[in-house]
Amino acid sequence: MQILSKVIIRILNIIVILSTIHSNVHASSCNLEVGIDVFGPIFSNTTWNKTNSPYCVTQNIMIQEDVTLTIEPGVVVEFYSKESDDDKLHIIVNGQLIARGNDLEYIKFTSYEKNPSPGDWGNIKFSETSKPAVFEDDKYVVGSIFENVIIEYGGFSGKTIVADQTPFFNNVIFQNNEGGIWFDSPGRLSNSKFISNNNGVIYTKFDLIIDNSTFDFNKSLGSGGIISIMDYSSKVRLSDSTFTRNHKGATIYSLSTDLEILRSNFFFNNCEGWGTYHFDAIIYSNNNVLITESEFKYNNQQADNRGSIVRADHLTIDNSSFIGNEFNIFPLIYSIRTLQISNSTFTNNRNDTSSGYLIRTSDRNSLLESSTGESKISDSLFSENVCGTVMYSPDLTLNNCAIYNNISELIILLYSGIITKSTIYNPYSKKGIKVSYTRNPPVINLCNIYGHQDYNMISEIEEDITATNNYWGSDNLGSIYLSIFDKYDNSELGEINIGRIDNSYLTEICTTAHPIPTFALSIKPDSINFGEIKIGNSAESRTTIIKNTGITSCLMEAITITNDSTNFNIVYETCSKKRLEPLDICSITIIFSPTSSGERNAFIDIYNDLKVSLSGIGQNYNISGKISTDVAGHLDLSVINASVTIEEINLSTVTNDEGFFLLEPIDEFESGFYTLNISANNMPKINKQIQLLSKKDNEIGLIKLPQYHTSKDLNGDNSFNLIDIIYGLKLLSEIDN
């Protein structure tokens, strides 16, 4: 009998253990006050709800095949932190995980630690048997999903999410993790934020779509990027996304066949070239890259070894801008084999050694070989860049471009190709075009090539170069030849044929070439809104900067304010009657001091039709307060529908259900004492003097209340009583300006 009892007890213990594994839920040992523990395998469909939250993962969890774990909005999943690094906790998904929060209540996967840090817990792994997200007509239909979810402090192994079968990531905040999302199957990520993660945030070997997402202050892999694409056959499309302040290695590193970047922004990212972080570009690819309708601004401002902004084997850039970026080890744009640029702008980019290339195309092999890189650049602007050489391409087709006001040793270095319908004017640069190492000389025509300090064009080859129908900055043939270096300077060189014999050189600006304005004024900002300012006060001053980005000087006109010079005033300016040389600036500082209420608008006339628009709103003074019959420690008995007036200014209002009143506007009043009247049914009428002060001697206009004295008859009944205290104290103490 005793043996039987032991057997029964042992069986009961087993039943208890099995039921524990199946339900996977216990009173929490993570948090003694609220929440429950979860651990072990999940054998049947299970839902985690907000009522039982937080769920504390104390051991690894495994969602079995064909089983769904659903996590409802507002749930917090906390991972208990193990002392041993080998025991960092995971959720393994062999079935399906549905984690869908909403706009008001996110689901959170986080650390249990009071002072959490990246890598406190392991990862969430979707195995090959898990159910991936399925899309129809580009919309999610079924399968595993993270939506309106926060994932933080995970990734001890360098991987926070591992997806052999990929869930859909939509509106996910991924922050402070030690590792990223590893896609081991095609995936999609939308409307998400990646903030302050280490070791990169996305790693994939498969097709991937990323749209409408932001990546801020992440640190890349030492051997990769914030996004690493590690397969030659994958295709990745990135659209409508923004990358800011990411650092260390590349922002995007790609081995993919096709990387498309559409309508995206890259601001203030830093790529440190060479050393451990040897993928030395913000965008680094060993294959094809297409960039369209995108902006690259102020990248590499703080990197120690500034790499390229974009580096690829085959690169296409369309309708994009590169402004204020820095580089020193490699070119700003570096294409190994082919390059196409159209309808794009490159301005104010800087090489801090003043020796690098802005644009470079070359083959992997020696530049002397015939299989060299090809560049096609059209309808684009290059201005105010500081570098050694603006463009270097063995085979260059340049059409309808303006290259002006750059500061460099050389503007264009090429071996062969065609330069046509372009203006090349750089008075702060030593040399214009240099032709070197070629068996097939380039053809240059219908261009404006002038203004360079040493030479407008240099030949280093034995063959003759055709350069007819170009304007060289002068109508004097002798002056033109002084700006050209060819066989007349070195007998071993060929001739640069400018059309001397048939007079096919131009003696004035070629109008067929891409024009540069005689001067171009840049105004930043070109509109200023001061917001709402109290009458008699002044807004904080604002400054606009005018810069001459053209090629000749501009004599500024007198700076005036039109439409409203009463409320807007110029307090300081350096522009009137000043001659702005190319790249010179001047400034105008304005204040807004409204003298009356309402919206006010004006303009600063800069030059001809160029203006800066000004706007602001003059805000009235008002008197507000609350009429109540309560005293400290007693119930509020607010007076409803009390009449409140200032008779001398002819203003009145009625209190609302809570006893509040607002008298507005108090506009253009004279300083002095006015009578504030308050009356309501079943209460004595109050007539109280208030003092209104207008602006005087830099004093802001305001309302003063006489000091309350407890011995004063406030309601005029010829006696001092509790009503005086209630109405006087509560009313006067709650009136403000």
Which residue, among 207, 193, 110, 115, has the nearest Cα to 153 in the 3D structure? Answer: 110
The CA angle 78-81-85, to the nearest 5 degrees, is: 140
Q: Is beta strand 610-619 parallel, antiparallel or unpaired with respect to 443-445? A: unpaired
Residues 6+ apart with CB under 8 A from 476: none
- Contact status, residue 154 vs residue 160, Cβ threshold 8 Å: yes
Q: How far is CA 99 from CA 107, 143, 150, in A?
A: 7, 11, 10
Per-10-residue mean pLDDT of the chain, 737 residues long, equals 38 34 46 80 96 94 97 96 79 98 96 93 96 94 97 92 96 96 95 94 94 93 79 89 88 87 93 54 90 92 70 93 84 90 91 76 41 82 91 93 93 95 95 89 97 97 96 95 96 95 93 83 90 84 89 81 89 89 87 86 88 88 61 50 72 72 63 72 66 45 38 47 44 41
Total Cβ atoms within 10 A of residue 670: 9
- Contact status, residue 627 vs residue 604, Cβ threshold 8 Å: no
Q: What is the largest CA-CA distance in the chain?
A: 126
Asked whether the bond before 706 is cis by omega within 30 degrees of 0, the reply is no
Q: What pLDDT, on a 0 to 100 scale, did the predictor assign at position 446?
A: 97
- Contact status, residue 474 vs residue 502, Cβ threshold 8 Å: no
- Specify the length of the chain in residues: 737
DSSP-assigned beta bridge partners for residue 359: 333, 391
Position 271, amino acid = C
Q: What pLDDT, on a 0 to 100 scale, did the predictor assign at position 355?
A: 66
- Contact status, residue 135 vs residue 98, Cβ threshold 8 Å: no
DSSP-assigned beta bridge partners for residue 311: 284, 334
- Contact status, residue 563 vs residue 648, Cβ threshold 8 Å: no
Q: What pLDDT, on a 0 to 100 scale, did the predictor assign at position 22?
A: 37
Phi then psi for residue 505, to 5 deg, are -90, 150
58's enclosing H/E stretch is strand 55-63
- Structural tokens at position 410: 């050389």
C-alpha 618 chain-centroid distance: 33
d(CA 354, CA 408): 7
d(CA 33, CA 56): 12
- Structural tokens at position 505: 């050189």
Q: What pLDDT, on a 0 to 100 scale, did the predictor assign at position 729?
A: 43
Asked whether the bond before 54 is cis by omega within 30 degrees of 0, the reply is yes
- Contact status, residue 581 vs residue 589, Cβ threshold 8 Å: no
- Structural tokens at position 547: 């810069």
d(CA 579, CA 587): 13
- Contact status, residue 98 vs residue 70, Cβ threshold 8 Å: yes
Q: What pLDDT, on a 0 to 100 scale, did the predictor assign at position 692?
A: 65
Which residue, among 691, 687, 699, has the nearest Cα to 671 in the 3D structure? Answer: 691
Q: What pLDDT, on a 0 to 100 scale, did the predictor assign at position 384?
A: 86
Q: If 0-12 CB within 10 Å is exposed, 13-18 middle and 19+ buried, where does residue 466 land?
A: middle
Total Cβ atoms within 10 A of residue 12: 10
Which residue, among 523, 511, 577, 513, has the nearest Cα to 549 in the 3D structure? Answer: 523
Which residue, among 621, 597, 713, 598, has the nearest Cα to 674 in the 3D structure? Answer: 621
Q: What pLDDT, on a 0 to 100 scale, did the predictor assign at position 720?
A: 44
d(CA 326, CA 243): 16
User: String of b and e for 112-142 (b: at least 16 CB within 10 Å)?
Assistant: beeebebbbbbbbbbbeebbbbeeeeeebee
Concatenate the DSSP letters of all residues of 176-233 into one string: S-SSEEEESS-EEEES-EEES-SS-SEEESS-EEEES-EEES-B--TTSEEEEE--TT
- Contact status, residue 95 vs residue 63, Cβ threshold 8 Å: yes
Q: What pLDDT, on a 0 to 100 scale, did the predictor assign at position 638?
A: 62
- Contact status, residue 694 vs residue 701, Cβ threshold 8 Å: yes
d(CA 237, CA 290): 9
List the alpha helices (DSSP H) in 251-294. none
Which residue, among 297, 306, 291, 355, has the nearest Cα to 325 in the 3D structure? Answer: 297
Asked whether the bond before 525 is cis by omega within 30 degrees of 0, the reply is yes
Q: What pLDDT, on a 0 to 100 scale, did the predictor assign at position 410?
A: 95
- Contact status, residue 145 vs residue 165, Cβ threshold 8 Å: no
User: Global pTM?
Assistant: 0.71
Q: Name the residue with tokens 């002397």.
A: 368
Q: Is beta strand 168-175 parallel, antiparallel or unpaired with respect to 542-548? A: unpaired
Phi then psi for residue 14, to 5 deg, are -65, -40
d(CA 642, CA 629): 12
Residues 6+ apart with CB under 8 A from 399: 376, 377, 378, 379, 418, 420, 421, 422
- Contact status, residue 514 vs residue 551, Cβ threshold 8 Å: no
Q: How far is CA 457 from CA 448, 489, 700, in A?
A: 12, 12, 66
DSSP-assigned beta bridge partners for residue 312: 335
Distance separating the N- and C-terminal Cα atoms of the chain = 90
d(CA 546, CA 201): 41
d(CA 727, CA 685): 10
- Contact status, residue 77 vs residue 90, Cβ threshold 8 Å: no
Q: What pLDDT, on a 0 to 100 scale, did the predictor assign at position 97?
A: 98
Strands in 374-526 per DSSP E: 374-378, 381-383, 386-399, 402-404, 407-420, 423-425, 431-435, 443-445, 448-450, 455-459, 465-466, 484-485, 496-497, 521-524
Phi then psi for residue 178, to 5 deg, are -85, -20
